[in-house]
Amino acid sequence: MSDLTPQSEAPTPTTDKITQAARETIYLCNFRVSVDGEWLCLRELNDISLTPDPEPAHEDPKDPIAIERLNLMNMAKLSIKGLIESALNLGRTLDSDYAPLQQFFVVMEHCLKHGLKSKKTFLGQNKSFWGPLELVEKLTPEAGEITASVKDLPGLKTPLGRGRAWLRLALMQKKLSDYMKTIINRKDLLSEFYEPNALMMEEEGAVIAGLLVGLNVIDANLCMKGEDLDSQVGVIDFSMYLKDGGHSSKSTEGDGQITAILDQKNYVEELNRHLSASVNNLQAKVDALEKSNTKLTEELAVANNRIITLQEEVERVKEESSYLVESSRKTFRRFAFGQLLSEQLDVEKELEVQIGMRQEMELSMKMLEKDICEKHDALVELRQQLEDVRRLNHELSHKSQSSESSIKQKAEIISRLEEKTNQMASTIKQLENSEKDVVKQARNLNSAAGKLLQKQQ
């Protein structure tokens, strides 16, 4: 751009100021930008004919600040128009590497920087358009999400980087035009950041805000992680808008190659996102299975404790039954010799009753032993199932990094695990019911033994 800027032979104080402003803001103050159809034309101020381009009637055509505003407005027109046409022809979502989109952000950055007041800091003077953009959050509550997202980005360290990130997020949200209109309508607040003749304070800013409405027809997916927004140098590439037939044909071929490469890149990224989502789902399922295994282990420990308790109760019942048989024998011997023949018949009947009860007790003991054996077998089966579950979990942990073809097999394994879990739950319920039956039988035996003792006394 320095090649396009003419050097005057006798610089005056006014031209020195204009040159300094041009170096700071990278604007063409000595040229006038006009739009010829779809192309950008640069005319030197001394060569302007009597057919000037449309511009506000109240502005002085020789005012360099007004020319800067007009140049920026025309650049914004071409940038927005070219971005919309190229995006519609491309027919896909735009990303950060798309050249017309990058140039659009550069032009918007220059528009927002035009006429900014310098703020003195410890490091010198600082010009940043982040301050005006922060006003949008106060005027439109919907913009609070964008501002918070920009402040949370870890790689941004300067207000300039935050302002660039804000522009990209607003474009993706398709609210850039609304936000710009909101702050342009509040010139009383903008006067704190801009000079009175700045672009955002004049009608050119309102025109640019209206042009931004057309960007709502395009979709953009911009990744700002890893992109150095703080140290980027925003330079307007005029070669994209100047008339050059050979360049347009070459750029068309280059755009076709870039489009193919970007399509492949998007496909690979989409495939990676899909694979990462499937891996996350498998990891969640493995975690759920580990939790279920822990729960089953706890339930198995409780079942073991209950079996030990039942075994102790069976031993106690055996001891009580042997004691009752021995006491009945002693009672029979003691009273057999001292009773009359009539009482001997009653004793014999009572002995028969006791023998019948003993047989019933022995039968009940056998049933208890059978129940214990069944419970032991069920416990062995539960342990075997638990080992199967652990083995399946181990296989799932190794297969979670494999391809998508193993997902169906894992789903079947998970269904089998769920069926086994339901079977184990039903088995545990049966064990609890059998435990209640054993307790009831033990109580009945105790009550029968008590009645026998009362009768013998």
Asked whether residue 132 is assigned to any structural domain, the reply reads yes
pLDDT of residue 58: 46
- CA dist 94 to 86, 171, 215, 429, Å? 10, 11, 12, 60
- Structure confidence at residue 181 (pLDDT): 92
- Type of residue found at 182: T
Q: How far is CA 333 from CA 88, 203, 329, 455, in A?
A: 113, 126, 6, 16
Query: Residues 6 or more apart from 232 whose CB is under 8 A from it?
Result: 164
Residue 159 falls inside a structural domain: yes
Three-class DSSP labels, the chain: CCCCCCCCCCCCHHHHHHHHHHHHHCCCCCEEEEEECCEEEEEEHHHCCCCCCCCCCCCCCCCHHHHHHHHHHHHHHHHHHHHHHHHHHHCCCECCCCHHHHHHHHHHHHHHHCCECCEEECCEEECCCHHHHHHHHHHCHHHHHHHHHHHHCCCCCCHHHHHHHHHHHHHHHCCHHHHHHHHHCCHHHHCCCECCCCHHHCHHHHHHHHHHHHHHHCCECCCCCCCCCCCCCCCCCHHHCCCCHHHHHHHHHHHHHHHHHHHHHHHHHHHHHHHHHHHHHHHHHHHHHHHHHHHHHHHHHHHHHHHHHHHHHHHHHHHHHHHHHHHHHHHHHHHHCCCCHHHHHHHHHHHHHHHHHHHHHHHHHHHHHHHHHHHHHHHHHHHHHHHHHHHHHHHHHHHCCCCHHHHHHHHHHHHHHHHHHHHHHHHHHHHHHHHHHHHHHHHHHHHHHHHHHHHHC
pLDDT digits (tens, 9 = 90+) for 368-387: 888 888 888 888 888 888 88
Within a 10 A sphere around the Cβ of 130, how many other Cβ atoms? Answer: 20
Structural domain includes residue 351? no
CA dihedral 101, 102, 104, 105 (to 10 degrees): 120
Instruction: Say what percent of the chain tops pLDDT 90.
Output: 2
pLDDT for the residue numbered 124 = 45
Q: At 434, which amino acid appears?
A: S
Q: Which two tokens stand for residue 89?
A: 């022809």
Phi, psi of 291 (to 5 degrees): -65, -40
43 falls within a domain = no
The pair of structure tokens assigned to 245 is 């037939």
Q: Please check whether residue 81 lies inside any domain of the structure.
A: yes
Query: pLDDT at residue 82 above 70?
Result: yes
Task: Note the pLDDT tens digit of each residue in 31-61.
Answer: 455 555 544 555 544 444 333 344 444 445 5
Check residue 6 and give its pLDDT.
35
- Domain range enclosing 79: 67-241
List, for residues 112-165, the tens digit of each pLDDT value: 988 888 765 544 455 678 888 888 888 888 888 888 888 888 878 888 888 888
Higher pLDDT, 261 or 304: 304
Domain assignment present for residue 46? The answer is: no
| Long-range Cβ contact pairs of 207-212 (< 8 A, separation 24 or more) | 207/73, 208/72, 208/73, 208/76, 208/111, 208/180, 209/177, 209/180, 209/181, 209/184, 210/177, 210/181, 211/76, 211/77, 211/80, 212/80, 212/176, 212/177, 212/180
CA 140 from chain centre, in angstroms, equals: 26
Residue 100 inside a domain? The answer is: yes
What pLDDT is attached to residue 129? Answer: 83
Residue 264: per-residue pLDDT: 65
The pTM of the full predicted model, rounded to 2 decimals, is: 0.44
Chain centroid to CA 438? 54
The tally of CA atoms less than 13 A away on the side-chain side of residue 424 is 25
Nearest residue to 26 via CA among 147, 133, 107: 107
Indicate which CATH number applies to the domain containing 196: 1.20.58.900
| Model pLDDT, residue 15 | 40
- Local confidence band at 22 (pLDDT 50, 70, 90 cut-offs): very low
CA atoms within 13 A on the CB side of 113: 20
Q: How many domains does the chain have?
A: 1
Does the residue 285 lie in any domain? no
Supply the angle between the helices 341-399 and 245-336 in degrees, to the nearest 10.
Answer: 170
Whether 11 has a pLDDT exceeding 70, the answer reads no
What count of other Cβ atoms lies within 10 Å of the Cβ of residue 47? Answer: 8
